[in-house]
Amino acid sequence: MNFNYISLIIALPALGAILIAILPKLQAKSIKYIAAIFTFIPLVLSIFLFINFDRSSAMAGVMQFEEKISWIPLINANYHVGLDGLSMLLFLLMSILGFLVVLISWKIDLRPREYFAWLLVLEMSILGVFASLDFLLFFIFWEIEVVPMFFLISIWGSGRKEYSAIKYVLYTLFGSAMILAGILCLYFTTGSLSMVDITRSGIGSFLPVIPAALMFFLFLGGFAIKLPVFPFHTWLPDAHTDAPTAVSVVLAGTLLKMGGYGMIRVCVSIFPDAARQFAPILLGLAMVNVIYGAAVTLKQTDIKRLIAYSSISHMGFVLLGIFSLTQVSLTGATLQMFSHGLITGLLFATAGIVMHNTHERDINKLGGLARQLPIITVIFTIAGLGAMGVPSTSGFIAEFMTFLGSFQSAVPVARIFTVISILGILLGAGYILWLLQRVFYGAPLDKYNGTKDADRLERVYSAVFIVLIFLVGVYPSILTNVIKTGISPIVRLIGG
């Protein structure tokens, strides 16, 4: 394919944002339709790329739909984008969520012009991160998302929204500074900004101008904040709790995955020796993420904060899979990122409906909603089952592959940390079942009589989430066949 599909997909949300921002006298409904159109077309094109993605073993390690144009010749920077089996999945996930969050935001009436413009800029930036193959381009897209996230949380959020927005920005900028330092060190060492060229050559083929371990930790620090890894996680519950529902969906669905993606694309692929050397420490942190996140989740009384802390636990599974350094574990970690984006996205979307319709988010003040809101109850229960990893959901196969691969790892103490991390599944079942019991079951409360159930639009976008969760759970090879083309060359680099 010679057509620049990736650039078009990235550009369309940006074009939609510009139109929304500059066209005069737009009504709120027109703004929403423009946002829907300029996110639906990228979704269709992303599905087209996914269908036409070459899954043959001959394409392992090959970037597909590649575009490369000289950008800043003086520093050898290029506009270079492309997709392999790793980035294709996350690129598709962002395209799916980009359209769905517009539907989730349909009831936004406060300054809709600015809201939907920032939402589309956010989608554009995250798509750019997953498609970039030049470090400078990657960093620019990485930084762009900070601006829309700040405004979306601080203006359309709730609670301590300004505090949470500023905290998110400070954490993100600190992580970005580490990534920029890593990029500069890598450039001084290799003279290149190409992710593909540096990975193929291997960092060991260059003179050790700057120790590889130092560069590894600079990148790792930035990505660990975004994932997030304990103890750099404290921004996440605040941001999730105070963000508007659609922003929480994007935050959980794809923004966190930028950290996991960066770890695989940069830390493991470019610094395989450092990844092997420090894997035991990172597996220990993964175990802490899983257990600590799940334990703290059990103590939460705010419905959104509970889901936020559960994300910390599930991102521990991703970290466990990445630094177990086997093909099965890395495949499981990638699948976990995709699955978590769908399941937690649905949990946040449904929690938003509950909060909007009942005007309550305190779990202790909810109860018995199953009789008054039966459709919402069914949707939330399905999402909860996915989060628990019940068979036939995407959560089950993702966690199963992650644990299987990590248990087979040659990394010392990997088996011990894996066995302990499995306790996270039991704790996860505990907080999900407890949440369902407290919010939806028990005696119904009279004050919620007459509360509206999910409307037609809410049923439609919830159905999309549910279909995808079960599709991946029942037929995981639809994704794993793609993932293997991106993961297998990385495994060869690390000797896993």
Segment 125-168, tens digit of pLDDT: 999 999 999 999 999 999 999 999 999 999 999 989 999 999 99
**Domain-embedded: residue 79:** no
What is the domain extent for residue 367?
Answer: 297-496
Q: Could you give the angle at the alpha carbon of 22 between the alpha carbons of 19 and 25, nearest 5°?
A: 100
Question: Sign of the CA dihedral 414, 420, 426, 427?
Answer: negative
In this structure, how many other beta carbons lie within 10 angstroms of the beta carbon of residue 318? 30
For the chain, how many structural domains are there in total? 1
Q: How many residues does the chain have?
A: 496
**Domain-embedded: residue 202:** no
Identify the pLDDT of residue 201: 84
**Domain-embedded: residue 113:** no
Identify the pLDDT of residue 60: 79
Identity of the residue numbered 243:
A
**Domain-embedded: residue 137:** no
pLDDT tens string 454-474? 999 999 999 999 999 999 999
Identify the pLDDT of residue 478: 95
Identify the pLDDT of residue 272: 92
All residues at 6 or more sequence positions from 68 whose CB lies less than 8 Å from its CB, including other chains:
78, 79, 80, 81, 133
Widest CA span in the chain? 72
**Domain-embedded: residue 481:** yes
pTM for this entry: 0.95
Q: Which two tokens stand for residue 226?
A: 């975004």
Q: How far is residue 275's CA from residue 298's CA, in Å, rounded to a whole number?
A: 33
From the list 80, 81, 10, 84, the residue with the least C-alpha distance to 45 is 10
CB 189 within 8 A of CB 207: yes
**Domain-embedded: residue 342:** yes
Q: What percent of the chain has pLDDT over 90?
A: 88
Q: How far is residue 39's CA from residue 123's CA, in Å, rounded to a whole number?
A: 9
Kindly list the averaged pLDDT for each block of 10 residues, start to end, along the chain of length 496.
88 97 92 97 97 85 92 94 95 97 94 96 97 97 96 93 95 96 93 92 76 93 94 92 94 93 95 93 96 93 93 95 95 96 96 93 92 95 94 95 93 92 92 93 88 93 97 96 93 79
CB 189 within 8 A of CB 143: no
Q: How far is residue 478's CA from residue 50's CA, in Å, rounded to a whole number?
A: 10
Identify the pLDDT of residue 203: 82
